[in-house]
């Protein structure tokens, strides 16, 4: 069996790495990895692949810095060329990026079976390009691997039971990764207090809307009077803060590697983020989470009290921080307990 995995961003490589480790256990499975280049990341050097213990991509298409249409179109063209050359049995895509959509579309047009990892997730916000990507990818897939029961329920509600598409609730490969990387964490070169909050702010609806960004920064500044807040900040967001003369009283650091991020998560008191992945990693490392968004794909975290949604509302952010009415019973099986990758490979072999 030959599998082509199509990836475009650092988080996708980390997720796919857990599946690659499982694939490597089978001598009769060959995996070919395509990196579309969607998210240029200076941290993704050869050292990155060695430290994270995941295979380097066989193809790098170097497509980035373009609008959605141009980027997806170029990916579709170049991925198709690789698929015609490699002739795989399966194309595996992850999540909801333009790379995900382009990979699924190229494979579907060539009648190659598509496996979508992290299928069925819905924010129910069609203004998010990720929502469009994931919905279209689900419809073109042969097997949908759902990380949660709510993701599987979404697909049932959309009528997938009437389609010739296999739907499997396998759990979340990110939890597999969290278990694997927990003891490999690397302390970043930053002065940390005994207690600190880890925060990230990167979504366009927060960084490109000055009212939203100002509210978040103001709330973080106020909380930082009581406890250190460490914020790995993308240069683009840092430039927006500088351009608009926004004062920051929290600890801003440069973007860091994944193993350093694992350290910060593992040793923090609380997570405050607008990242989808970090919401789950907070749960994996038994940390409460305040989410700086109005909706989340990980509704089970909110339903069970591990996470609270506050949007970019200063008063809600402060109330969530001061109240901290979180569930602290983290021994709940919401994401497969580290068996998600194993189930993916077994399903592909049995299909």
| Residues known to be catalytic | 202
Q: Strands 307-309, 289-291: parallel, antiparallel or unpaired by DSSP?
A: parallel
d(CA 22, CA 25): 6
Q: Across 233-337, where does the E strand assignment appear?
A: 251-253, 270-273, 289-291, 307-309
SS3 334: coil
User: What are residue 267's phi and psi, to 5 degrees?
Assistant: -105, 5
Encoded tokens for 36? 């579309």
Helices (H), the chain: 10-23, 46-52, 68-86, 98-109, 129-140, 149-157, 173-181, 204-207, 210-223, 235-243, 258-267, 276-284, 299-303, 314-323, 340-350
Give the tokens for residue 339: 């068996």
Query: Three-state DSSP class for 217?
Result: helix
- DSSP state for residue 233 in the 8-state scheme: -
| Beta partners for residue 199, in sequence order | 272
Query: 16 and 10 in contact (C-beta within 8 Å)?
Result: no
| Cα torsion through 297, 301, 305, 307, rounded to 10 | -70
Of the CA atoms within 13 Å of residue 220, those in its CB half-sphere come to 31
Backbone CA torsion sign across 51, 54, 58, 64: negative
Cα–Cα distances in angstroms (integers) from residue 304 to residues 56, 285, 311, 329, 330, in the given order: 38, 16, 19, 10, 10
Contact 6, 103 (CB under 8 A): yes
């Amino acid at each position: 069996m030959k599998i082509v995995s199509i990836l475009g961003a650092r988080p996708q490589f980390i997720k796919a790495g857990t599946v690659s480790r499982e694939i490597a256990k089978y001598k009769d499975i060959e995996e070919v990895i395509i990196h579309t280049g969607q998210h240029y990341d200076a941290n993704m050097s050869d050292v990155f692949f060695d430290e994270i213990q995941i295979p380097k991509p066989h193809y790098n298409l170097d497509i980035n810095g373009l609008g959605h249409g141009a980027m997806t179109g170029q990916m579709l063209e170049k991925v198709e060329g690789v698929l015609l050359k490699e002739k795989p049995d399966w194309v595996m895509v992850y999540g909801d990026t333009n790379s995900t959509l382009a990979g699924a579309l190229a494979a579907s047009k060539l009648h190659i079976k598509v496996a979508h990892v992290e299928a069925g997730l819905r924010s129910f916000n069609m203004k998010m390009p990720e929502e469009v990507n994931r919905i279209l990818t689900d419809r073109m897939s042969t097997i949908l691997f759902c990380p949660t029961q709510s993701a599987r329920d979404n697909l049932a509600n959309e009528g997938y039971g009437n389609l010739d598409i296999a739907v499997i609730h396998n759990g979340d490969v990110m939890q597999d990764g969290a278990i694997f990387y927990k003891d490999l964490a690397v302390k970043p070169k930053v002065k940390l207090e005994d207690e600190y909050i880890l925060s990230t702010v990167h979504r366009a609806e927060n960084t490109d809307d000055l009212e939203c960004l100002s509210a978040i920064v103001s709330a973080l500044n106020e909380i930082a009077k009581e406890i250190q807040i460490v914020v790995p900040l993308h240069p683009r967001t840092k430039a927006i803060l500088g351009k608009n003369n926004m004062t920051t009283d929290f600890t801003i650091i440069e973007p860091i590697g994944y193993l350093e991020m694992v350290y910060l998560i593992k040793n923090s008191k609380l997570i405050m983020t607008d990242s989808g992945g970090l919401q789950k990693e907070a749960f994996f490392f038994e940390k409460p989470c305040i989410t700086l968004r109005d909706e989340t794909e990980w509704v089970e975290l909110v339903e069970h009290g591990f996470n609270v949604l506050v949007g970019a509302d200063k008063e809600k952010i402060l109330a969530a921080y001061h109240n901290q009415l979180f569930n602290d019973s983290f021994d709940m099986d919401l994401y497969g307990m580290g068996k998600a990758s194993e189930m993916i490979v077994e399903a592909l072999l049995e299909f």
